[in-house]
Chains A and B, each alone.
Chain A
Amino acid sequence: MLLLCCTHERGNVWTPVLTRMLGGVICLLLSAQALVAAPVVWDHIEDPLVRAAQFDLLVGKPFEAITRLEADLDQGRIKHRPAQAQLVLGSLYLANGAHHKAASIFEALGNGKRNSDQPQRVQNLAWLSLAQAQYQHGQTDEALASLQRINGELPGQAQQERLLLSAMLLMQRQDFDQAVVNLRQLGKKSLVRQLREKSVWETYGRFNLGVALFRQGKEEEGRTLLEKLGSGTADTEEQRALRDKANLMLAYHHLNKNEPEKAQQYFVKTRLQGPMSSRALLGLGRVYSSRELHQKSLVPWLKLSKMDASDPAVQDGLLAVPFAFGKLEAFKQALEYYQSALERFKAEVAQVRQAEAAVNSDALADTLARAVSNQPAGQGWLVQDLPNTPGGRYLWQLFTTHEFQETLKNYVQLRRSLERLAQWSSQIDSANGLEPAHRRELEKRVLGVQSELLSVLERTQTHLKVLAQKTLKRHEQRLLGYASEARFSMAQMYDYASKRWGSEQ
């Protein structure tokens, strides 16, 4: 992040930067976890038509199941325990992205006696799934309220998901004290149970507890926790990435406190491949640089400068290399590396502008929508499954946000609905024996929904575009700033050189 700031600046600048880093890490952890709520499945469904709807839900066809079940309810065909149909309907709406509708169904059932035939465990899982969906849709208060409806403990991993989600929501509300209480419960299980489950949720929980403790000002306790995480064994790539994050956080914490030796211990524990490697290399260079070991600082920084220049840490590295050469009074090399950095920044700006053009022409939204449509129904989508979109390197972080993902899902569903409406319109036209009044009513309804849908579709497309444009603009401004700094620095060096030769002559 920040390099070589003077002491006076540190007090004003480091604190928000550290806060931003912590906040960023928290957001990243939940978005990266791909919190895809499992379908809510109910026990002992009696009516066969309702069971058929539950089957469609489980094979990822919630829309088809909703239309059939609503039609069956409308026609009075659900004859056996119709309240169970409402439960399944709630699950179907939830799976179809309609979390408000699902919440109203579950709440109505929860307040009455209609779902009393369902075991508490099943009801609890329904509230958890609803809370996960609400969280993904940015409904923090509603998600917390849903979690509060859970009565008793959930089985196995679900309980860990519950505690972690509730801690995340509390952190979003800046309620770190309560978040810490929840996160501490994650570690309360017996070691045997933890080993059996090998849950990454528990690891996430420990990391987030460390972060929350830092935020609470309990630095020592937070550090101890992160140290354990950073030196523990990791069986999966996800756990290894978390271990790197823990080490990186501790390293930057010490670096920012002007304790480079301590910082170094953690930087060297971070792997030199994987998503954290660029920040580790940047930080390690800073450690050496702050100890005036400029020659040594060049080792990680030169390695860093060969990496993908869309990464902000690499961009910092591109300026850090000539800085180190300047410190070593190797001005010729410094000049060459400034020139090379300038070329890289210019090339990256061209890439960002190409991406901006793709976003402005709606090509990005169309490409992403096609990719999402081709993925198996009912499953969450992951960034790595997406096609190589123009400027994707600059947008992947945006793609991992819940806001972008949910908006894109809505966009895909709205487009699909538009096709359905066109198909229904032809069906109404060709329907035999339809009462003229009924035909007119259906046609009017289709037209009404079509018009509303088009308006929401346009707004959704614009929202996706604006999100991408803002992200790209931020990258562009940063790159342009860096390019002008490289140019300015070169000018300063020429100026210095001419003065030096002048004085020697």
Chain B
Amino acid sequence: MKKINVVRRGLAFFCVSLVGLGLLASGMAYTASAAEDSVAETTRFVQLDAAAERVLNEVAALGAQMAILEEAQKSLSQTRLLVLVTVDPGPFFQLGTIQLHIDERMVSFHQYTETELAALQKGGSHRLFWDDVSVGQHKLTVSMMGRTPKESDFRRTSTLVITSDEERGVVELRIAPGENEDQSSPEMRLKEWK
């Protein structure tokens, strides 16, 4: 009987130390050398991260050179035209789509997503058209569709005649709250930037 008790105590002790030992291993992670390893790892990460940033910035700089090269590739009789859309924040109008005709030919149609509308509201300008046109006079006709509290199918059209030369042309379509009393009907203005 005495012998059995001894063995039982041994087993109980064994079980205690068994689980304790196993879990001690999990507690070993936090040691001084682990902390040093962690510092060394962070340093390695920071250095590698900086190297990646450097090379990615070089790629971006090269990308800018390629953009210049691409634009310079147009023929002499052509010029690059950029048409931008800007929206001044107004509480009532929700822009839906915009169409652009150049010389009676539709060259762009864009339906705005929620992300794009939010970007416009925060002061961004959308590139509606970015392509080559022939040097000379052009008629730009822009039609916008959207929603106001009074009109679920609000439409407006505006026209501008521009004369493009070899320099890149920039035209901005600005949609702003109307000057009427309740500001519910937006206004549209086309402006050529020089």
Contact = CB atoms under 8 A, between A and B. Distances in A.
Contacts of A424: 62-63, 66
Interface string A51-88: 11011111110010011101100110100000000000
A177 B161 CA distance: 67
Contacts, number: 237
B65 A96 contact: no
B49 A66 contact: no
Interface stretch (A209-217, A233-241, A478-486): A478-486
Interface of B: 3-4, 7-8, 10-12, 14-16, 18-27, 29-31, 41-42, 44-46, 48-53, 55-71, 73, 82, 84, 86, 115-116, 118-120, 122-127, 168, 170, 172, 193
Contacts of A485: 18, 21-22
Nearest to B70: A427
Given A96-B56, A413-B56, A431-B73, A323 B15 contact: yes
Determine chain A's interface SS by DSSP, over half rule.
Answer: helix
User: Which residue, B10, B22, B45, has most C-beta atoms of chain A within 10 A?
Assistant: B22
A63 B60 contact: yes
A181 interface: no
Interface in A336-368: none
A6 B122 CA distance: 63
Given A20-B30, A463-B44, A316 B19 contact: yes
Nearest 3 Cβ contacts at the A-B interface: A55-B124, A67-B63, A58-B119
Given A58-B124, A77-B168, A6 B16 contact: yes
Contacts of B67: 67-68, 70-71
Contact of B19 (A3, A421, A427, A453): A3
Contacts of A492: 11, 14
A145 interface: no
Given A63-B63, A492-B14, A316 B49 contact: no
Contacts of A45: 123
26 contacts: A2-B27, A3-B19, A9-B24, A16-B27, A41-B123, A48-B86, A51-B84, A52-B125, A52-B126, A56-B124, A67-B66, A70-B60, A93-B57, A98-B60, A319-B22, A323-B15, A326-B12, A407-B48, A407-B49, A424-B62, A424-B63, A427-B70, A449-B55, A481-B25, A482-B22, A496-B8
A101 B141 CA distance: 41
B188 to A, nearest CB: 16
Interface string A302-329: 0000000000100010011001001101
B7 A58 contact: no
A16 B52 CA distance: 36
Contact of B64 (A74, A434, A442): A74
Query: What bracket does the count of chain A residues touching chain B fall in?
Result: 35 or more
Contacts of B124: 51-52, 54-59
A13 B12 CA distance: 21
A13 B28 CA distance: 9
A505 to B, nearest CB: 13
A420 B63 contact: yes
A453 B59 contact: yes
Nearest to A446: B62
A367 to B, nearest CB: 20
A465 to B, nearest CB: 13
B123 A503 contact: no
A332 interface: no
Contacts of A51: 84, 86, 123-125
B20 A4 contact: yes
A460 B48 contact: yes
Interface string A474-505: 10011001100100110011001001100100
B122 A58 contact: yes
B123 A43 contact: yes
Contacts of A77: 168
A431 B56 contact: no
A462 to B, nearest CB: 9
A58 B118 contact: yes
A414 B56 CA distance: 7
Nearest to A334: B15
A478 B7 contact: no
Nearest to A484: B22
Given A2-B27, A71-B68, 17 more contacts: A3-B23, A51-B125, A52-B127, A59-B115, A71-B71, A77-B168, A93-B60, A97-B56, A319-B18, A327-B12, A413-B52, A431-B69, A431-B73, A456-B48, A489-B18, A496-B7, A496-B8
